């Protein structure tokens, strides 16, 4: 009897996993390094409209994350906070973006003293354009953790599809210096 119970439980779990996988939706859009970054407008943590095109001429780090106040997202945000002055000294703008609303971002930013802008993608449209949008069972929606380095002309120079949240900001900083050849520029001064 107990053996039949475990077999039935296994069969149910097997079909549940298949159902979840078949009902999960990622975005089919795949951006590549060298592509033009899709422009967007979103509300920031203060409720003001911000567009990617507002930063024309500047290097932008656009990092997508799943949810405010979750362990991995908090670790990543605090990592960017701790490296922010170094990154900013290169003339780089850091923008964090998730499907959370402006009020959630405001509280998250205040709680962890984040010095950079957080953008709200409540409807998931920006995440869809960047290929980070994920949905399970039609109710669980979030942006996959991905980061884009965008140059001053709006061209994607680097995409991080896998992120180690504890050291990601340092990796981004080093890559920006390398991609934009900051060491060479410093030695020419």
Q: What is the pTM of this model?
A: 0.81
Query: Within the chain, which residues score under 50 in pLDDT?
Result: 15, 17-18, 20-27, 184, 186-189
CA dist 130 and 47 (Å) reads 22
| Predicted pLDDT of residue 69 | 87
Tokens read off for 43? 């509300």
Tokens read off for 62? 């656009």
Instruction: Write the DSSP symbol of residue 155.
Output: B
| Predicted pLDDT of residue 64 | 94
Catalytic residue check, 73: yes
Q: C-alpha distances in angstroms, 1 versus 4, 5, 6, 7, 19? A: 5, 6, 9, 10, 27
| Predicted pLDDT of residue 7 | 65
Of the listed 37, 50, 60, 73, which one is catalytic? Answer: 73
CA dist 38 and 35 (Å) reads 9
Neighbours of 3 (CB within 10 A): 7
Instruction: Write the DSSP symbol of residue 53.
Output: G
Domains and CATH numbers, the chain: 26-188 (3.40.30.10)
Phi and psi at 40, nearest 5°, equal: -155, 165
| Predicted pLDDT of residue 115 | 97
């Amino acid at each position: 009897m107990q053996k039949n119970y475990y077999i039935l439980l296994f069969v149910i779990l097997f079909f549940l996993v298949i159902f979840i996988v078949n009902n999960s939706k990622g975005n089919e859009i795949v951006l590549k390094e060298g592509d033009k970054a899709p422009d967007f407008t979103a509300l920031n943590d203060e409720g003001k409209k911000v567009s990617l095109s507002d930063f024309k001429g500047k290097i932008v780090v656009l990092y997508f994350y799943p949810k405010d106040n979750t362990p991995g997202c908090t670790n990543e945000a605090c990592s960017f906070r701790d490296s922010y002055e170094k990154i900013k000294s290169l003339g780089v703008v850091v923008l964090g973006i998730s499907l959370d609303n402006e009020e959630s971002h405001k509280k998250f930013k205040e709680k962890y003293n984040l010095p950079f802008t957080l953008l709200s993608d409540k409807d998931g449209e920006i995440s869809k354009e960047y290929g980070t949008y994920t949905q399970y069972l039609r109710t669980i929606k979030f942006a996959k953790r991905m980061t884009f380095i965008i140059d001053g002309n709006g061209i994607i120079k680097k995409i991080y599809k896998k992120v180690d949240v504890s050291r990601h900001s340092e990796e981004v900083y080093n890559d920006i210096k390398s991609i934009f050849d900051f060491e060479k520029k410093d030695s020419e001064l």
